[in-house]
Amino acid sequence: MKQLTVLFLLAGLVGAGGCLKAHEQGGDKSIGFSGRVNIPVISQRGDKVFLQLLIRTPRTEKPHRKPLNVAVVLDRSGSMGDERKIEFAKSALTSLINQLSGRDILSVVIYDDVVEVLRPAGKMRDKRELLRHLENVYPRGSTNLGGGMLEGYRQVERFANKEYTNRVILLSDGLANEGITDPHRLNTIARKNKTHAISLTTMGVGLDYNENLMVGLAEHGGGNYYFIEHPRSIAHILNREFEALSSILAQNATIELKLGRGVRLIDVIGYEWNQEGEQCKISLGDIPSDVTNEMTVELQVPPGTGTLSLASGTLSYESDKISASEQPSFETTIAYTDRQEEIEENRNMEIQAKADVAVSTKQVEEAMELLDAGKGEEAERTLSAAKQTLLSSPAAAAAGAGSHINDQAEQIGSFQSLLKDSTDTRKAKKSIQYQNYKTQKNKE
């Protein structure tokens, strides 16, 4: 078996070499992409394996950001008058407008039960006129969120191409109760536009909006999701989104995984994916510069002996800042053994810890679904089970890796306290779901 392990290690080095070669050729100007497993040696009976994908983008040296092609879709329904939400939103949009340059394209769509284009898509050369029109927007009516989103996409589509960062920013404080309200249809629209390099960011304000819908739209749309509890924070969040848009390095990013013979994909935790045969595609949308992004792929490996090519992956993208001529790739191989000791000796505790944290976020999602169904006690038990599973992980006591486990266990403990102590379940659920979303997406 020692010879087998040596063969595996050599295969692993070859797989990593593709990623290292990309870095050597492009220095720190290339995008790094790699894949590592928690247990590179598994039982001959087969086992579940977690593949950790890592994307690392360089800091760009280009002095000027890419011009933006952005549609801001603003809810003006009657509830936006509560807590001066509409005033805070208008102030935040004013700040954004003042940061845009003449190279940027902006459109503004407002909606209640009626959808209105306050400013058609065009270069930012008439700020005073736009601000004057914005000042006259007041709350009224119900919420045709789907209609507003569709019009936002239409406006961005007029100028959408690879020369711009193309995004729709959708802000709402209420439930979609006019026009298209079916989440599946709305998600399909967002997903279709993402394939055309138009991404969608959603911002939920207050406690009355549908967080499941807003998270789903951001997931399928390839942008970001924000829970804005206090209206006065709208300006800060919109500015964060502007900074994120200003640092986009790659668009239309997609990971293509090819699975080894008999390997079954169970989930890509926290990400949208689709599979045809042995090929799996993970659509990422836009990727900023100077970030490290990780995702956990859950795989079921069949019984066997010797070695097995577990998976290979390629990252494709469009970018005007770095070369995409050589798409970064990796290949991972695992070895079979009949000795449990060898499995544990080769277990990668860092990857194990990250996988355990990712799995716990799925359990938190299950708890939130139970909460939606009015099963608060079951939700609390699910959170408790998630915490105990984390603490019993083989990586919990490992140096360095254990901190990932303990931090997540502590966060789940805070979720439990929030549910127990909160007098408003809406607030507790939105806060927990938002924190869990950020954990899955490696966001601060």
- pLDDT for position 28: 55
Is residue 299 situated within a structural domain? yes
Residues 325 and 362 in one domain: no
Residues 81 and 173 in one domain: yes
- pLDDT for position 402: 87
Is residue 255 situated within a structural domain? no
Residues 290 and 400 in one domain: no
- pLDDT for position 213: 97
Q: How many helices (H) and strands (E) does the chain have?
A: 12, 16
From the CB of residue 377, how many other CB atoms can be counted at a distance below 10 Å?
A: 9
Is residue 256 situated within a structural domain? no
Is residue 254 situated within a structural domain? no
- pLDDT for position 400: 86
Residues 289 and 399 in one domain: no
Of the residues 323, 347, 371, the one at which a domain ends: 347
Residues 287 and 419 in one domain: no
Per-residue pLDDT of the chain (444 residues; tens, 9 = 90+): 444 443 344 334 334 433 333 333 344 578 999 999 999 999 999 999 999 999 999 887 655 788 999 999 999 999 999 999 999 999 999 999 999 999 999 999 999 999 999 999 999 988 999 999 999 999 999 999 999 999 999 999 999 988 999 999 999 998 988 899 999 999 999 999 998 889 999 999 999 999 999 999 999 999 999 999 999 999 999 999 999 999 998 888 999 999 999 999 999 999 989 998 889 999 888 899 989 999 999 999 999 999 999 999 999 998 877 766 678 999 999 999 999 999 999 999 999 999 999 999 999 999 999 999 999 999 999 999 999 999 999 999 898 888 999 999 999 999 999 999 988 999 999 999 999 999 999 886
- pLDDT for position 19: 38
Of the residues 293, 320, 347, the one at which a domain ends: 347
Residues 77 and 36 in one domain: no
Residues 337 and 194 in one domain: no
> What's 210's domain CATH number?
3.40.50.410
Is residue 274 situated within a structural domain? yes
Our count of domains for the chain comes to 3
pTM to 2 decimal places: 0.89
Of the residues 305, 321, 347, the one at which a domain ends: 347
- pLDDT for position 358: 97
> What's 47's domain CATH number?
2.60.40.10
Contacts of 342 (CB under 8 A, 6+ apart): 1, 5, 41
Residues 232 and 86 in one domain: yes
* Closest to 106 in 3D by CA, of 135, 131, 138: 131
Is residue 252 situated within a structural domain? no
Tokens in use for 256?
């293509």
Residues 332 and 362 in one domain: no
Range of the domain at 78: 68-246
Distance of CA 219 to the CA centre of its chain: 6
Q: Helices in 247-348 by DSSP H: which ranges?
A: 340-346
Residues 142 and 86 in one domain: yes
- The H-or-E segment that residue 360 falls in is helix 349-372
Between CA 259 and CA 261 the distance in angstroms is 7
- The H-or-E segment that residue 203 falls in is strand 199-205
Residues 117 and 230 in one domain: yes
Residue 279 Cα distances to 125, 265, 268, 273, angstroms: 47, 10, 13, 11
Is residue 253 situated within a structural domain? no
Burial class (CB in 10 A: 0-12, 13-18, 19+), 424: exposed
Is residue 369 situated within a structural domain? yes
Residues 191 and 299 in one domain: no
Return the sign of the alpha-carbon dihedral for residues 117, 169, 156, 126.
positive
